[in-house]
Structures are given as structure tokens and as C-alpha cells.
Amino acid sequence: MITFMNNSDSEEEPCNERTSLMSAESPPVPSYQDGLQASEAGEAQAHRKRRTGSSHSPNNIADGDMSDSGVPVRESALENEEEELTLKYGAKHVIMLFVPVTLCMIVVVATIKSVRFYTEKNGQLIYTPFSEDTPSVGQRLLNSVLNTIIMISVIVVMTVFLVLLYKYRCYKFIHGWLILSSLMLLFLFTYIYLGEVLKTYNVAMDYPTLFLVIWNFGAVGMICIHWKGPLQLQQAYLIMISALMALVFIKYLPEWSAWVILGAISIYDLMAVLCPKGPLRMLVETAQERNEPIFPALIYSSAMMWTVGMAKPDTAARGPSQQTWDAGEDGRDNHRSPSHADSQMSETRSPVPTRPITSFEELEEEERGVKLGLGDFIFYSVLVGKAAATASGDWNTTLACFVAILIGLCLTLLLLAVFKKALPALPISITFGLVFYFSTDNLVRPFMDTLASHQLYI
Amino acid sequence: AFFWLVSLLLSSLIWFIAVKASDPRDESLQKGLLIFGVMFSVLLQEAFRFLYYKLLRKAIEGLVALSEDGCSPISIQQMAYVAGVGFGLMSGAFSMINLLADTLGPGTVGIHGDSQLYFLTSAFMTMVLIFLHTFWGILFFHGCEHRRWWEVVAVVVMHLAVSGSTFCNPLYVGSLVPSYLLMAAAATWAYVLSGGSAQNLWRFLLCKS
């Protein structure tokens, strides 16, 4: 097991799903777009596309018919309503995202603190070939920067590759890639994780039981993620695989490289989502042009929209909802796609536009949710997990990073509501997280320790 | 919570610089610096509470402008309460969480001559601080809202007093008792300001509608 992970050429990087925070917007109803960056590591080259979109309440859709050809008078009257609903739903969406992000972080931190496997150094991935065991600080810094460059270029290459695949409609290849990577995550990594947890708590387990458990877990996971399944189960599985991926990163990325990679990824995310020629942006636009659904395997959605049989011809009139999706790459390259804005997808959200909605409305109301790419989950958890692992055993640092990331997420969602286009979810949160980690570890910790030893309270 | 964290960050930055710039062997100087650090941190926390108030004010104005009937969905009192709770939780968490992690270790509290009641008193102190932050939030926002600056000053003075009383530790009677008394006072004050009265309380206790 362990050898498989060590420096083997065939070892593939877990797929990274990129998450971008995108809000789906239909023109009449502003929605949040979460561009998600999902980076997915998996053994195969799987690309996952993530897409997030959040839709607004169907009320507006119902009464107004927010189609492009909407009456101007109604438009302006509805706009105010929309904005207010935007804010209201914005708050709801924020909470809907807080819960899964928090859960993922809790799982990662709990594992890091209890299972010692994930904090032992057992080799490095082939994507970070330079070792950090060098005698001088300058050398170490140089090595970590080189590692970062290699990692980021791998990601860029994979993203571009994915975009090309998508452009030339090689869907089967992409599907196969995605399935292979989630297969690896669900079976292999779970097996390793379970093995380590059982070792830590000294619980005996026989192979047949283990096989049964893992087989069931993995099979149900595959079905839930790639096909249909109860929403909560799918969410739980996505959270679990994000946590597993984050744990792998925490274990196999050397210390300084991890921090530099986190910083570089947010910059890359920013560029790839906002620059006109960025790969993620192109991906989203292509998907928008084709009005196609993106692969659901890489996105965490807080509400499910089953569009089978719901696609209406006048959805086009309604306005496509935008989704942002990033293709995550599994496999050899850790590919991170920056979170990106969304492409307009008309068919996925299509409330019945012109009729007064009755049951459909409620259906849509519940189905409107926020989507966040799994890559974002993974990187947030990597940051918090690294803080828990390496911050001199201090819980304050972990807590500070946690709060910083959540506040960054809030701010990103706020900006999303203001700008109404896809925005990268990583930069703000990761910046806050990094700032707080380094400052809390070096500045706050001695202060709080001294205060606690004298039992003074501030 | 975030604002409290930022204030903590800045105050520890100041303290850290001061410590690094001074002589580490001079005990009384270190103690003095610590006291200075604590007071400065308290003042900074209150400053950040004020900044947070300003931010929430702007947010409420925005919400009112957007809403249909001119009322914001959340009132300033609710925001005051939430702000207080946030501050309190963050300060409590930062004070307690390392201690809690240590309680999982060996049961050797006070084995080197320190007080054996360390964990217990820390827990009580943290609890009273969390409550106090909540009440201070309400009082502070109310004072800012109605331009009664003496209320704001009272909150700051109370905070300084509570922090100062912890300098009596490990003479716990000097810190816990005044803090609890202050908390009771702040609680009644905040309750009255939020529209409560003895009548309401009585009716609530008797479960009347």
C-alpha cells in the first residue's frame, strides 16, 4: 500500500478538482455563480468538470418570466425583487456552503490529529521531485519554488488538455477519465485510510469484512456520484473524497512546498478565471455555447436539479443559467483549474417560465442551490490540515485558519452577488488563511501562551 | 468572530514587537509589558467592535434600501446580539481550546505548586467572559445607536476592569467574584435595554402567554 504511493511512476496524482465559485445566473434572476476549482487527484487522468451554479428562487421566474424578451417595466420592478431575493438567498447559500466545508475540514483535522500516518514523511510524489532536506534555508526555498513550478505547470497542461478534449468533443475519454479517478479515490484511498485508522485504534479486522465494507462503500459511491442517488448521500460522498484527497496532499507535499503551492494555486486560479484567454473561462464558454450539461462528478451541489424531462423550450427565453465548471484532472497531473465563472446553461435550470408555477415552483425552489467545486474543498482542507499538523500542536492556529477561510468564502460569495459572474473561490480564502496561519503561529501563539500561563484574560 | 481575531492579531503583533525589543531577562519589565499588552488588546478589541458596528450599520442601510417595505429583515438589536456572541465565542475558544486539549493529558494539575483549581477557574472565567462579551455587544451597539457615549465608555471601562481583575490570579476570589458581579449587572442592563422588564420576566417564568 504504502509503496504504491511512494515515488512510483505509475502513481498518479489524485485528481484535483478545481472548484470555482460560480453562481448560476439567469438574466432576470441573478444567481450566484460559484466558480469552483476542483482539483481532483486520481489515478487515472480523469477530468472532472465542475460546475456550480446557484439559482434563485423560482418566484421570479414564475411570475415574471424572466426571459430575455421581458417587458422592460416588469424587468425593473422585478429587478429590485431579484436583488432582495439575491441577498436573502445569498445568505442561505452561504450557510449551505459553510456546512460542507466545515464538515470536510473537521474530518481532515480529526484524522490529522489522531492518525499519525498522515503526518509521517514517507516519500514524495513525482510531481514534487525536489527534496526539502537541504542544509541551507536558501536551498530549501529554491527547492520548494521549483516544486511549485512543476506542479503548477502540470496543472496548466492538464487543464489545457481537458479544454481541448472538451472542445473536440471527446466525451467518452473524459467520462472514462472521471470514472477511473473516482474509482481510485473511492476504493484505493479509502482502503488505505481505513487501514490506518484501524491501526491507530488497534481494532482487528479480517479481510472478508474489509472487502465487503469497501466494496459496498465504493460501489454506492460510484453510483451516487456519477449517476443518480439521494442528494445527501451524494454530498456526503463528495465531502469524503475531498477529505481523502486533501489528506493525501497533506501527507505527500513537503512543508514549504505545500505553502508555496497553495499561494501559487490561488494566483493561478485568479488568472485562469478572470483572464479572457484562461483555460477555465474557455471551457465554460464552450459549454455555454453548446448548452450542455457539465459533468456532475466534480461539483458539490447543495440542491439537486433533475432536469430529465424538465427541459423546456422556453428555457432559452428564460435565460441560461450560468455555471462554472472546472475540469479537474485526475491522474498523473495534479491539475488545478481555477475556479471560474460559469457558463450559461439553460437546460439545467429551467423553471417553467411562463406559467404560474404551482408544484414546479416548489420543486425549483428547493432545487436551487449553490454549487462549489470539489477542488475548493480540497484546498481549504489542505490549508487547515497543514495548520493542524505543523503548527506546534496548537489548536488556536487551526481555529484561526478555519475562521479565516470561512470569512473568505463569505466575501467571495458577496462579490459574486455584486459582480454576478463567475469568480474564483480560492484566492481570497487562501490569502486570508495563509496570512492568519503565519501570523497566528508566530505572533499570537507566544502572546496567548504567556497569558495562559499567568491566567490573564483579555 | 473574525473582527475579534483581527484585533487579537494586531495586539499580539504590538506585544511581540515590544517583547523582542526589550530585555528578556528583566522580569518586572516583562510583566509590565504583559500588562501593557493586555490593556492595549482590550482597547483594540473595543475599537474593532466599533468598526464592526459601523460595518453592520452600512449593511442594514443597504438591506433597508433593497427591501420592499422599508424594513430590514434583521434588526440592529439582533445584530448586536450576534456580534456579541461572535466576539465572545472567539475569545472563549482562543482562551480555552488549548487548555481543553491539555486536559486529555496526564492528571497533574498544579503539581509544581500552582493552584489545583486551574482548569476549573479557567473554565468559569472563560464562561463569564463569553457572557460578558454578549452583553457588551448589546450595550455597545445600543449606545452607538442612540448616541449615548457614556454607555460605550461604560462598556470599555467594564472590559478593562474585568481584564484587570484577572491580574489577581491565582487569588481567584479577586477575579472571579467581581467578574460575576459585573456580569449580573451587565445582564440586567442589557435585558432592560432590549425591552425586557420585571413583568416580562415574571410572565415568562410562569409560562404565561
Contacts of A320 (CB under 8 A, 6+ apart): A26, A288, A291, A343, A344, A345, A346
Provide the shortest C-alpha distance from residue A285 to chain B (in Å). 32
pLDDT value of residue A430: 92
Q: How far is A420 from chain B (nearest CA, A)?
A: 17
Burial class (CB in 10 A: 0-12, 13-18, 19+), A342: buried
Buried b (16+ CB within 10 A) or exposed e, A394-431: bbbbbbbbbbbbbbbbbebbeebbeebbbbbbbbbbbb
Q: If we measure between CA atoms, which residue out of A413, A289, A273 comes closest to residue A336?
A: A273
Nearest by CB to residue A456, choosing from B38, B63, B98, is B38
A96 CB-side CA count, 13 A: 25
Task: Give the span between the Cα atoms of A422 and A427, in whole angstroms.
Answer: 13
Q: Is B167–A456 a contact, with Cβ atoms under 8 angstroms apart?
A: yes
Residues of B in contact with A399 (CB under 8 A): 93-94, 97
> What is the pLDDT at residue A75?
53
Of B11, B98, B167, the CB nearest to A395: B98
Interface of A with B (CB under 8 A): 80-81, 83-84, 87-88, 393-396, 399-400, 403-404, 407, 436, 439-440, 442-444, 446-448, 450-452, 454-458
Are the beta carbons of B12 and A448 separated by less than 8 Å? yes
Residue linked to cell 487562501 = A430
| pTM of the predicted protein model | 0.74
Q: How far is B107 from chain A (nearest CA, A)?
A: 17
Disruptive mutation site among A445, A451, A455 for chain B (greatest number of B CBs within 10 Å): A455
Cβ separation B98–A394 shorter than 8 A: yes
Residue of B14, B46, B94, B171 to mutate, interface with A, max A Cβ within 10 Å = B94
Closest CA to B1 of B96, B75, B135, B91: B91
Under 8 Å between Cβ of A89 and A368 = yes
Which residue ranges of chain A lie beneath pLDDT 70? 1-91, 293-296, 303-369, 392-393
A32 neighbors A90 (Cβ within 8 angstroms): yes
Cell 449606545 appears where? Answer: B143
CA A249/CA A267 separation, integer angstroms: 19
DSSP-based three-state secondary structure for A35: strand
Average per-residue pLDDT for chain B: 79
Q: How far is B98 from chain A (nearest CA, A)?
A: 6
Tell me which residue in A87, A444, A454 faces B63 most closely, judged by beta carbons.
A87
Q: Bridge partners of A41?
A: A15
Tell me the nearest-neighbour CA distance from B151 into chain A, angstroms. 20
> Out of B5, B99, B163, whose CB is closest to A452?
B99
Look at residues A333, A336, A197 and name the one whose alpha carbon lies nearest to residue A262. Answer: A336
Q: Note the Cα B93 to chain centre separation in Å.
A: 12
Give the residue among A381, A375, A392 at the shortest CA–CA distance from A330.
A375
Q: Which residues of A touch B63 (CB under 8 A)?
A: 87
> pLDDT-based confidence at B155, cuts 50/70/90?
confident
**B27-66 and B2-21 helices, crossing angle to 10°:** 160
Closest CA to A48 of A166, A195, A211: A166
Q: Tell me, what's the pLDDT at B188?
A: 86
Q: pLDDT tens across A296-305, in order?
A: 677 777 765 5
Cross-strand pairs, A329: A16, A335
Tell which wins on pLDDT, A113 or B172.
A113
B19 contacts A448? CB cut-off 8 A: no
| Chain B residues touching A83 at Cβ < 8 A | 66
End-to-end CA distance of chain A: 49
In chain B, where the domains are located = 1-206
Give the residues across from A39 on adjacent strands: A17
Q: Going by C-beta distance under 8 Å and a sequence separation of 6 or more, which residues neighbour residue B1?
A: A403, B86, B87, B89, B90
Instruction: Taking residues B48-53, report their average pLDDT.
Output: 86
**Contact (Cβ atoms closer than 8 angstroms) between residue B1 and residue B90:** yes
Position A143 scores a pLDDT of: 87
Q: For residue B162, list chain A residues with Cβ-Cβ distance below 8 A.
A: 457
Distance between A329 CA and the closest CA of chain B, angstroms: 34
Q: Considering only alpha carbons, which residue of chain B is nearest residue A446?
A: B16
Chain A residues whose CB is inside 8 A of the B99 CB are 452
Q: What is the pLDDT of residue A369?
A: 65
pLDDT surpassing 70 at residue B124 = yes
Nearest CA in chain A to B127: A457
- Confidence label for B25 from pLDDT (cuts 50, 70 and 90): low
Per-residue pLDDT of A402-419, as tens digits, reads: 888 988 888 888 887 777
Yes or no, beta carbons of A439 and B13 under 8 Å apart:
yes
| A48 three-class SS | strand
- Summarize the confidence of residues B84-98 as an average pLDDT: 83
Contact B73 A88 (CB under 8 A): yes
> Which positions of A are annotated as active-site residues?
269, 376
In angstroms, rounded to a whole number, what is the distance separating the alpha carbons of residues A80 and B205? 44
Alpha carbon distance, N-terminus to C-terminus of chain B:
35
Which helix (H) or strand (E) segment holds residue A39: the answer is strand A33-41
Three cell numbers, residue A215: 466494496
Phi, psi for residue B115 in degrees, rounded to 5: -65, 145
